[in-house]
Each structure stands twice: as structure tokens, then as C-alpha cells.
Structure 1
Amino acid sequence: MTVHAVRLNHAVLFVADLERSEAFYRQAFGMTVVAREPRANAAFLRLPRSGNHHDLGLFGVGDQPPRPRGSIGLYHLAWQVDTIEELEEARQTLVGLGAYGGESSHGATKSIYAHDPDGNEFEVMWMLPRDSWGEFADAAPVERLDLPGEVRRWAGVRTAAELVPLDADPEP
């Protein structure tokens, strides 16, 4: 028997400076603080279009040496946007915040990479319509992203609603 999860609901990060991290995620994603837990020096944030109680938890733990890149543990979080135009806007926002780290095409997804003030890497990605995955349905290449070309090709196409197909009932 397996766990019948439909998606990752939220992420929680340890951060050095809670207020600094709150400010970053508010600026980068427009998140709002929906709850605080002072005893744990924690804040819980929600994305503007989310139906979740919270999408991100932040626990302030004070200055610590960063975990070396490539060591065991979380590599990055991926935040999905609904349109390729929103990915383009995300790139501009992250460049403006000095957080932009790169971009790539993974075939079925197009991605921008960035980092928060503590060096936690994250991805902002847009997914092609499922019926357009083609050869990428079972592949995840790392290729150069031609974002202007992708915007021309996919402008106005919304895909976030395809996250959980209606016929995705778990097997008994």
C-alpha cells in the first residue's frame, strides 16, 4: 500500500533572520503572513492565489554556517506559475531582488532558479499542457531555456489547473 498524496502542500525552512526572510518572500511572491508562533520564532505564509492554510513555514534559528551545496538534504523547492508570462515576470522580479541564479528547460517544464537570503535555492516553473509533453513525458533534460521563444509559443496558455486530473482516483 502507498500514501495517496496528490501534491506537496507546504514547505518549511530554517532561516537565520525571520524578519529578513519574511520580507524576501513577501517581495518575491507576494506572500502574506497568516500566522505566527512566537514560542518557535516561526511565521507561516500564504501565496496570494492559494487555497492552503499556509504554503511556507519559516523558523528563525539565528546565524549558522550554511550547509555546503551538494551535501545531503533538500536541494530546492519548486513554485509553479500558471502561465509562461508569469514565469517571465518572475524572472524580472528575481533579477530585481538580486536573487536570480539561472534558468533551464526540462522539456515538459520551463524553470527559473533563484536563492533566498539564506542561500536556500528555489525554482519557479511553468509546466506545458499535459497533452503537449510528448517525448518529455518520461524525460527531464536540462537544456538552455529560450524564454522569449517560449513566451511567443505558449502565450496565454494556463496549466496550473492540470495539477490533479479529475480521473486520478487512488487505486484500492
Structure 2
Amino acid sequence: MTINAVRLNHAVLFVADLERSVAFYEKAFGMTVMAREPRANAAFLRLPRSGNHHDLGLFGVGAQPPRPRGSIGLYHLAWQVDTIDELEQARLTLAELGAFTGESSHGATKSVYAADPDGNEFEVMWMLPRDTWGEFENAAPVERLDLGAEVARWSGVGTAADLNQDVTR
């Protein structure tokens, strides 16, 4: 029997400097600290439009050598935005923070990539309307993103509310 999960609720990262990481996620995503646990040197942050208790947990563990890219462990987190316009703004925000690392089109999703102060990679992505996935229904290519063209085509189209809300038990 499989686990009947409905979504990933939150992510937790080990970070070198807790306050530096809290400040980064506040600036990048507008997150607010919802709770702290001083005994664990931890902070729990919520996205501005989230109804969740917390979306990200950060545990300060002190400076350590970075994990080599491609080694076993988490590759990246993906944060979804509602509109392609918000993705364009995310790219600007991440560039201003010196965190932007790249962008790509995965067919049904359009993505920009960045790294936090500890080198943890993350993706900010926008999903095409479900009824337009077409050939990308069962594909996830990695192609060049022409964000300007995507904004011209999809500006103002929100898709986050279209996520599968079927939570029958």
C-alpha cells in the first residue's frame, strides 16, 4: 500500500549561519519567521501567501565544507509562482541578490535557478495551464528559456490555483 500524501508540506535545510540565511529568504521570498527554536538554533519561515504553518525550516549548524555538486543528497527545491510575470520578477530579485544562476524551459514549466548563501540550489518555476501541456504531458526537456516571449504570451495567466485539489480519503 502506498502513502496517500497530498503534497510536500515543507523543506528543512542545514545552514552555516542561521541569521544570514533567514535574512536571505526574507529578502528573496518575503518570508517571515513564524517560530524559532533556540535550543536547536532553528527558524521556521512562512511564505506571504501560504496558509501553511511553515514552508521552510532552517537549522544553523556552523561552517562546513560544501557538499560536492552531484553527490548524494538534495539537488534543489522548487518554489512555484502563480504567473509568468512573477517568474520574471523573481529573476530580477535573484539577480539583485547575486543569487541567480540560470534559467530553462522544461516544456510545461518555465524556471529560473538560484543558490542561497550556503550554495543550496533552488528553482522558482511557473507552470503552463494544464490544458496546454500537449506534447509535454509526459516529457520534461531542458531547453533555452526565452522569458520575454513567454511573458508576452502568458502575462496575467495564473495557474497555481489549478493544482490538483483532489484530497478524497
TM-score range normalised by the length of the shorter chain? over 0.9
Aligned residue in 2 for 1:139 = 139
Structure 2 partner of 1:20: 20
Cα displacement (A) at 1:153: 0.5
- The correspondence of residues 47-126 of structure 1 with structure 2, limited to 5 A, is 47-126=47-126
Counterpart-to-counterpart distance in 2, 1:32 and 1:112 = 22
How far off is 1:165 after superposition?
3.7
Q: Could you tell me which amino acid in structure 2 is paired with residue 49 of structure 1?
A: R
In the superposition, the TM-score normalised over structure 2's length comes to: 0.98
Which residue number corresponds to residue 153 of structure 2? 153
Q: Which stretches of structure 1, 4 residues or longer, exceed 2 Å deviation after superposition?
A: none
Higher mean C-alpha displacement, 3-12 vs 91-100: 3-12
Letter in 1 for 2:75: Y
Name the CA distance, whole Å, in 2 between partners of 1:50 and 1:169: 22
What are the superposed Cα offsets for residues 102-153 of structure 1, whole Å, 9 maximum, x if unpaired?
A: 0000000000000000000000000001111111010000000000000011
CA distance in 1 between counterparts of 2:114 and 2:52 reads: 23
- Alignment partners' CA distance in 2, 1:110 and 1:91: 12
* Number of residue pairs aligned between Structure 1 and Structure 2: 169
2:7 alignment partner in structure 1: 7
Q: CA deviation at 1:6?
A: 1.5
SS in 1 for 2:122: strand
Distance 1:30 1:155 in 2: 22
C-alpha RMSD over aligned residues: 0.9
3-state secondary structure, aligned to 2:12: strand
Letter in 2 for 1:163: L
